[in-house]
A and B are shown apart, each in its own frame.
Chain A
Amino acid sequence: MFEYDPVLFSRILTYVTLGFHVIFATLGVGVPLMIAIAEWMGIKRGDPHYTLMARRWARGFVITVAVGVVTGTAIALQLALLWPNFMQAAGHTIGLPMFMETFAFFFEAIFLGIYLYTWDRFKSKMKHFLLVIPIVIGATASAFFITSVNSFMNAPQGFNIVDGVLTDVSPLAAMFNAATPTKISHVIITCYLTAAFILGMIAAYKILRGNKHVYHKKALHMTMVSALVFAVATAAIGDLSGKYLHEYQPEKLAAAEWHFETETEAPLILGGILTEDNEVEYALEIPFALSILAGGTPDTEVIGLNEYPEDELPPLWVHYFFDAMVFIGMYLAAVSALFVLFNWQNRRNPLRKLNPFKSWMLRLIVLGGPLSMFAIQFGWIFAEVGRQPWILHSVMTTAEGATTSDHVDIMLWIFILLYAVLGVTSYLVLRKMFLHNPVEHELERRGIPYHTVEKDVES
């Protein structure tokens, strides 16, 4: 079809591997926190339903961890195989957080092993709860360290290049670069948000299918309250990410917003299409909003694409990915807020009479699960493609970083096949695991009594 180009195939293969890894990695970062919350509530309220929740989530979590671990190992090898020049440079400058990440992995792996096999081993429940803390810390630390590597790719600093030779390397300055604060906090909080929505989706789906057990209602309530907190934080930090871009990578922000002329009072463009001669049509414009996103005030001057040479601009289709991510962010915040309001039994809450378990509400929540995962994908595609043509912003182009090896194309097909097989089997295994052992059976087996709540399910 097209000529063999190792750079192109390396880019596609990198995307396929990372895009697949991040599905599991996101859950790997987020789900331990949800497990910890559930186990904590179980202890504090003395409610065995929450403890069982933690137990069942942990069991499903193992499957996603396994796939996360193997795809992560694949990336670690692949980065060296596909981007040898980049990794050589990265090893000299940003090797520290990558190295520290492996300690986070160790930490998490060790305690996960212990956690899973010690449910009934300690007399005090608190002791077992303490074991989940290192898992949460380890998982979040992995995201922290790896994202700081990615921040470095966006805002390289902490070294000098004199006549093509690297000098004055400062590993800490490289690790804590300009992109680090916003990037890391946005990535971590969105992992939490996504995990909460995926687990909420499962509970909502069960209720929607006519399961009236209070266990699912508790799960749904807990995940939605968490999701609301995370969704608000996501939007707030997303706004700060925009301000970071304005300061350090204005061309990425401009590409996301199809913003050509440098100007103040810049509008935010939603959707639309771009004509041959760079006119925006059919778009929704929100006046001043881009200036506000970039600098907090309408009179912030936003740099336009015209300031850059043609060959240093990212592809402009990233606009759609940015829009889709932001839209989903708003959607998730709105849905979780509605649910929580309906379910909040405070006398002063005017909405408390509304039933949060109505089927339309549940459907919206179910939809939020896949949408949140898509937002992760869209966000990464926007962030990574928006950095093009650079692999290390303004230092090394993607083409310079790539391998010169033959056969990258065959590898691409083989890996696509591998991920397809892994994806399908993990889905089947997870399904089987929970279908064969529904909550009701497990409650009965463990002798946990059934309670009902006031509001009934309507479906």
Chain B
Amino acid sequence: MTYELLGITVLWTFLFGYLIVASIDFGAGFYSYYSKATNKAHIIHNIVQRYLSPVWEVTNVFLVFFLIGIIGFFPDTAYYYGTALLIPGSIAIILLAIRGSYYAFSTYGAKDSHFFSFLYGATGLLIPASLTVVLTVSLGGYIVVDNDQIQLLYGELFGSAYSWSVVILAIVSVLFISASFLTYYAARANDNRALELLRKYTITWSFPTIIMGIVVFLLLSKRNITQFENMLDIGWVFAVSFIAFVAAVVLIWKRQRYGTAFTLVVIQYFTAFFGYGVAHLPYLLYPHLTIYDGFTNESMAIALIIAFVAGLFLLIPSLYLLLRLFLFDADYVQGNK
């Protein structure tokens, strides 16, 4: 494996980590607002709070890790994406800022404000929408580069069916991933009313998710044929993803083994996400930037990788401790602690 590949694999893995933990968080925000608005707050509010409170800050760090990591490993991305994405990037920052701080305000400060939970719910859907712009742009055709000026073509971006379908896919995925996790969490907590409601949400969002997945795939053939064909070449990966999806939905439908079902959802997204990523290589920004010409120098690469391995030694035990105390501790989950 070359340093370039190693670097992008590490970063892609963390982005995947963000995708899962942030989806749970974003979706939870939306459900908790939605259930308040429809007077079902008492049913799922506790579940959402018990899970989110200790982990929300960790979620954010996954994103920061990806951002800083990509600048470390591929400094040229700062130049290309930085210049082009000033506006969408800033919008994402603002939404993240509102979300993070108002979550803390409402959880630790003010008691149950309707406005705070509205902000929390709404940003939960808007943030994934604005972040996916980056993925869309990376496919090429939305940025022009002429003598040192880099510009984002807003007309192209907002006028394209592809970019909108990706946005919708992102939103429904957030709702699906989140619901399937919270179903599992509610099952562990022995909270049957919450479980029933969340199970219903999971099933509701499962079909839109898979349909949007297929729609995006088909539209991709018009957008970037190389990427499309690369993905067809590794079609088995997406087949695995599909099977995992079906198995997850069947388990939840049959009210069996919610933990396994959630793991299957993670596998579904893992395979699809990495399949997409592999097909995207070697481009970071099609066709301007590849992982090879944007890579940092060798000594920096080695230093970053050493730091990364050392960091994992610190991180994995701490994450394990966090999970043991708040996710795998049945007493905590059930609210006895």
- CA A87 – CA B75 in complex, angstroms? 7
Given A114-B321, A171-B299, A95 and B71 contact (CB-CB distance below 8 Å): yes
* Extra 20 A-B pairs, beta carbons < 8 Å, given A66-B105, A110-B322, A429-B109: A65-B104, A66-B100, A69-B57, A69-B60, A70-B99, A72-B64, A77-B67, A81-B85, A84-B83, A87-B78, A87-B79, A98-B71, A106-B318, A114-B322, A121-B325, A170-B299, A404-B148, A429-B108, A430-B109, A432-B110
Does A92 contact B297, Cβ atoms closer than 8 Å? yes
- Considering only residues 410-428 of chain A, those with a C-beta below 8 Å from chain B are 411, 414-415, 418, 422, 425-426
A-B contact count (CB 8 A): 223
Does A166 contact B86, Cβ atoms closer than 8 Å? no
With both chains docked as a complex, state the minimum distance between the C-beta of A101 and any C-beta of chain B, in angstroms.
7
Contact of A113 among B63, B103, B322 (CB under 8 A): B322
Contact of A102 among B64, B90, B299 (CB under 8 A): B64
User: Does residue A63 face the partner (Cβ distance < 8 Å to B)?
Assistant: yes
Does B109 contact A117, Cβ atoms closer than 8 Å? no
Chain B, interface residues (CB within 8 Å), range:
35 or more
Does B68 contact A109, Cβ atoms closer than 8 Å? no
User: Does residue A103 face the partner (Cβ distance < 8 Å to B)?
Assistant: yes
Given A403-B86, A407-B86, A422 and B97 contact (CB-CB distance below 8 Å): yes
With both chains docked as a complex, state the minimum distance between the C-beta of A62 and any C-beta of chain B, in angstroms.
5
With both chains docked as a complex, state the minimum distance between the C-beta of A66 and any C-beta of chain B, in angstroms.
3
User: Does residue A394 face the partner (Cβ distance < 8 Å to B)?
Assistant: no
Pick the 3 closest A-B CB pairs, nearest first: A91-B75, A66-B104, A95-B72
User: Does residue B337 face the partner (Cβ distance < 8 Å to A)?
Assistant: yes
When C-beta atoms are compared, the residue in chain A nearest to B313 turns out to be A103
With both chains docked as a complex, state the minimum distance between the C-beta of B336 and any C-beta of chain A, in angstroms.
11
Identify the interface centre among A62, A99, A116, A118: most chain B CB within 10 Å of its CB. Answer: A99
Does A65 contact B57, Cβ atoms closer than 8 Å? yes
- CA A83 – CA B75 in complex, angstroms? 12
User: Does residue A408 face the partner (Cβ distance < 8 Å to B)?
Assistant: yes
With both chains docked as a complex, state the minimum distance between the C-beta of B91 and any C-beta of chain A, in angstroms.
9
Does B303 contact A91, Cβ atoms closer than 8 Å? no
User: Does residue B89 face the partner (Cβ distance < 8 Å to A)?
Assistant: yes
With both chains docked as a complex, state the minimum distance between the C-beta of B154 and any C-beta of chain A, in angstroms.
11
Does A121 contact B94, Cβ atoms closer than 8 Å? no
- CA A66 – CA B149 in complex, angstroms? 36
Residues in A lying within 8 Å of B, measured CB to CB:
59, 62-63, 65-67, 69-74, 76-78, 80-85, 87-93, 95-96, 98-103, 105-107, 109-114, 116-118, 121, 134, 166-167, 169-172, 403-405, 407-408, 411, 414-415, 418, 422, 425-426, 429-430, 432-433
- CA A53 – CA B223 in complex, angstroms? 59
Does A411 contact B86, Cβ atoms closer than 8 Å? yes
Identify the interface centre among A90, A112, A116, A169: most chain B CB within 10 Å of its CB. Answer: A169
Does A78 contact B93, Cβ atoms closer than 8 Å? yes
17 A-B Cβ contacts within 8 A? A63-B109, A66-B103, A73-B100, A81-B83, A81-B89, A84-B83, A87-B78, A92-B300, A95-B68, A95-B304, A96-B304, A99-B304, A99-B307, A100-B307, A403-B82, A405-B84, A418-B94
Does A88 contact B86, Cβ atoms closer than 8 Å? no
Given A114-B321, A404-B149, A407-B87, A91 and B296 contact (CB-CB distance below 8 Å): yes
Given A62-B108, A70-B96, A96 and B314 contact (CB-CB distance below 8 Å): no
When C-beta atoms are compared, the residue in chain B nearest to A97 turns out to be B307
Does B57 contact A112, Cβ atoms closer than 8 Å? yes
Does B101 contact A70, Cβ atoms closer than 8 Å? yes
Residues in chain A near residue B56, CB distance under 8 A? 113
- CA A268 – CA B65 in complex, angstroms? 45
Contact of B296 among A69, A92, A418 (CB under 8 A): A92
Does B90 contact A73, Cβ atoms closer than 8 Å? no
Residues in chain B near residue A418, CB distance under 8 A? 94, 97-98
Does B311 contact A91, Cβ atoms closer than 8 Å? no
When C-beta atoms are compared, the residue in chain B nearest to A422 turns out to be B101
Residues in chain B near residue A112, CB distance under 8 A? 57
User: Does residue B118 face the partner (Cβ distance < 8 Å to A)?
Assistant: no
With both chains docked as a complex, state the minimum distance between the C-beta of B61 and any C-beta of chain A, in angstroms.
5
Residues in chain A near residue B296, CB distance under 8 A? 91-92, 95
With both chains docked as a complex, state the minimum distance between the C-beta of A72 and any C-beta of chain B, in angstroms.
8
Given A73-B60, A429-B105, A88 and B322 contact (CB-CB distance below 8 Å): no
When C-beta atoms are compared, the residue in chain A nearest to B99 turns out to be A70
User: Does residue B58 face the partner (Cβ distance < 8 Å to A)?
Assistant: yes
User: Does residue B247 face the partner (Cβ distance < 8 Å to A)?
Assistant: no
